Amino acid sequence: MEGYSVLGRIGEGAHGVVVRARHNLTGQMVALKKVPLRRLDQGMPTTALREIKALQEINSQHVVRLLDVFAEGAGFVLAFELMLGDLGEMIRDSTRPLTPPQVKAYMKMLLSGMAFLHDHNIMHRDLKPANLLISETGQLKIADLGLCRVFDREGKRLYSHQVATRWYRAPELLYGARSYDEGVDLWSVGCIFAEMINFSPLFPGESDINQLCVVLQTLGTPNEATWPGLTNLPDYKKITFPQSQSVPLEQVS
């Protein structure tokens, strides 16, 4: 990675290793995401192309900035603005629990960022605390747009239902929906909000079926009256659960 001095490893995600580095000419601190090409004849991964294209077109103070893209060996590197950490780390830090004003501020920034993406017809599809980065000044920014897609407001386009980390996956996706919209992101936002308040995941399912069971045990068994179109979802008739009543909001933890 000529032009940068690598200072340490930040972490490793599904699509590559992330390191902390300094630009040799400007001194700017950055996060470098190294994405390998598994087969040279297949070109760049679709997820990486989506992330690059989306970030190049997005200019929002609540979405992480892509600074540079360059080839590196049998792969390529994305250079992002360096952030202090992520929301997941802050939630897990029992020595400094989030205060109500912090939760309110982070939710406002998260919703502002998502409103910007949705106004531009972009679904993130993988919102979770680990993908919400926090700057040294306390600014929250949405990151990791590898699963993002431009959505069709007329509902004619089909998408994969195997998206989003399980604990933050909307029920329609768990029922196998292929036609959906930005509502799947808003479900994830709600789960993140609850996690900031309770300091633990709202729906910690152990499998996809168990995930749906946990959701229904908390929110109650839906029907066509409460969820129009439910019985038309691909996997609705394949999965049955005992009837359950919703848990009062103040008892949800």
Segment 118-177, tens digit of pLDDT: 998 899 999 999 999 999 999 999 998 878 888 877 767 788 888 879 999 999 999 999
Q: What is the pLDDT of residue 172?
A: 95
- CB neighbours of residue 232 within 10 Å: 11
Inter-residue contact 223 to 229 (CB < 8 Å)? no
Query: What are the binding residues for ATP?
Result: 33
Residue 126 among the catalytic residues: yes
Q: What is the pLDDT of residue 197?
A: 94
The residues, any chain, with a CB within 8 Å of residue 140's CB and separated by 6 or more, are: 62, 87, 105, 106, 109, 110, 113, 132, 133, 134
Go through the domains of the chain in sequence order and give each one's CATH number. 4-81 (3.30.200.20), 85-251 (1.10.510.10)
Model confidence band, residue 13 (pLDDT cutoffs 50, 70, 90): low
Whether pLDDT at 226 is above 80: yes
The residues, any chain, with a CB within 8 Å of residue 123's CB and separated by 6 or more, are: 117, 148, 149, 150, 151, 181, 182, 184, 185
What six digits make up the tokens of 40? 């040279």
pTM of the full predicted structure? 0.88
Tell me the pLDDT tens digit for each residue of 188-217: 999 999 999 999 999 999 999 999 999 999
Residue in 97, 150, 154 with CA at minimum distance from that of residue 125: 150
Model confidence band, residue 7 (pLDDT cutoffs 50, 70, 90): very high
Instruction: Give the CA distances from residue 180 to residues 28, 113, 129, 154, in Å, rounded to whole numbers and listed in that order.
Output: 40, 20, 22, 10
Tell me the pLDDT tens digit for each residue of 42-88: 555 676 777 777 777 788 899 999 898 888 877 888 899 999 999 99
Q: What is the pLDDT of residue 155?
A: 65
SS3 of 140, please? strand
Between 113 and 120, the more confident residue is 113
What's the mean pLDDT in 24-40? 83
Query: What are the binding residues?
Result: 33
Tell me the pLDDT tens digit for each residue of 168-191: 999 999 999 998 999 999 999 999
Q: What angle do CA 52, 115, 154 make, to 5 degrees?
A: 85
Whether pLDDT at 24 is above 70: yes
Whether pLDDT at 246 is above 60: yes
Residue of 86, 126, 144, 185 marked catalytic: 126
